[in-house]
Structure 1
Amino acid sequence: VLLVYAIITRMPLPERKDLPAIFFLGFIGITIYHLALTYGELKVTAGSASLLIASAPIFTAILAMFILKEKIKTWGWIGIVISFLGVSLVARGEGEGIRFEPAAFLILLAAISTSFYFVLQKPYLKKYSPLKFVTYTIWSGTFFQIFFSRGLFQNIKNAPIEATLAIIYMGIFPAALAYITWTYILSRIPASL
């Protein structure tokens, strides 16, 4: 959908000097995020995974404080501490004490990678509209995902039409529209909120 939009509107390419950052952000915010979340969810329950990935705002606020020099107020720190305690309890394994399962680390990697994506894109939103920037990063992230997609075209060919339509739906609504909406909001407010 974003490719069609880019072609119809004759969206210009990003400036050459911004390409390394766009590809890096596509890699961490799209490729790493989706791969880590997908593989982590194979071993972590849906409830635990949803709570772990919900730690992304915690990491975003902390990264925004260090990278963007944003201020976190007292209630923000209280929320961060409570959230980290909750994530620790959810991610713990069986047995004595807190033990993180490897798959839980993948979910946390997804949360951290998307947090870096949110924070590091902020300066570019002064130059590019949210729609343009998301288009650039989603396509650069998709480029890297191709390396992990062995057998993709054969699987698409053999998949039932319902499965193909479900994937298209997921690419448009939970992915593209969510990224565009969040990036639009991020372009107008501090990342640490």
Structure 2
Amino acid sequence: MTTIVEARRQNLTASGAAAVTVVLWASAFVAIRHTGTEFSPGALSLARLLIASAILGVVLLLHPRQEVGRRWPAKRDWPQLLACGLLWFGVYNLALNAAERRLDAGTAAMLVHIAPLLVALLAGLTLGEGFPRMLVIGSLVAFGGVVLIGAATSTGRAETWGVVLCVTAAVSYAIGVVTQKPLLSRLPAAEVTWLACTIGAVVCLPFAPALVDELRSAGGATIWWVIYLGAFPTALGFTTWAFALRRTSAGRMGATTYLVPIVAIVLGWLFLGETPAVLALAGGAVCLSGVAVSRRSR
């Protein structure tokens, strides 16, 4: 009985952390909407990652107690850390920021959200998670919901280079998640996030001159939005993601991110006055159904 209660408590904690991640990642779309006119993709990526790395570094310094005994990665951990930091924190951010300058939000959402399907596929092939029937069905249903949302918000025009960038972002995201998952069994979530975030920031350092120039001309409100992006969707959001990922499968966590477009629609309605189309609302309902199915046991 104690084991069952403890398992339920861990599942509830992981679900809460995943919910925090979904809300914060969705809010990033609202924040990027405010910053995209004054910051280029590379400069914005570098700023977010530098802020997040600094915050997580201070947290780890002030709270040295770790979830596991070892405080520094072993040699075998570094290839996965480098892949996660380079692809998910570096390439993903750069590709997505650049793609959203070439594609409308609906088309970008549809293309980027092939990532959870890729996560489930790669996790089944490389992490031994297999292909649970409910996860596969739920993921396909949720992706159908994303297609409906995209159809409701798309202009119907897609630039080839923008499509390539979105697919690059999706593939980088999927590989980053799959390389991160094994690390979380050996290292604390906050430490993995900090190291990967720092690696991503190093990747984006060539954009430092652009960031300095754009900071000089940016408005105060825009700079605060950049700080928000680094502190909450990046530092906190990726840490709660890693915390939840450590306690569940990569495939199920990937399916949970199908909720991000729904929450982004709600936040856009509340803060930007963007009234969602009826088809987008229907797509959101389909996404919710798919995520619910994907998180069920057989």
Fold conserved between structures, TM > 0.5: yes
Q: CA deviation at 1:5?
A: 1.4
Q: Deviations over 1:139-167 (max 9, x none)?
A: 11111111234322232233222222110
In structure 2, C-alpha distance between the alignment counterparts of 1:137 and 1:77, rounded to whole Å: 29
- TM-score norm. by structure 1 comes to 0.84
**1:8 is matched with which residue?**
62
**1:127 is matched with which residue?**
186
The 3 A distance-change label for structure 1 pair 7 and 85 is closer
Residue ranges of structure 2 left out of the alignment (5+ in a row): 1-54, 66-70, 253-298
Q: Deviations over 1:18-64 (max 9, x none)?
A: 33331221000101100110111111111221232222211110010
Amino acid in the other structure paired with 1:5: V
1:164 has 2:218 as partner:
no
Alignment of 1:1-193 (within 5 A): 1-10=55-64, 12-81=71-140, 83=143, 101-193=160-252
Residue ranges of structure 1 left out of the alignment (5+ in a row): none
Is the 1:55–1:84 contact (alpha carbons within 8 Å) kept by the matching residues of 2? Answer: no
In structure 2, C-alpha distance between the alignment counterparts of 1:167 and 1:178, rounded to whole Å: 15
Equivalent residue pairs, number: 189
Q: CA deviation at 1:115?
A: 1.1
| SS of alignment partner, residue 204 of structure 2 | helix
The 3 A distance-change label for structure 1 pair 76 and 147 is same
Q: CA deviation at 1:86?
A: 6.5
In structure 2, C-alpha distance between the alignment counterparts of 1:64 and 1:175, rounded to whole Å: 23
Q: CA deviation at 1:3?
A: 2.3
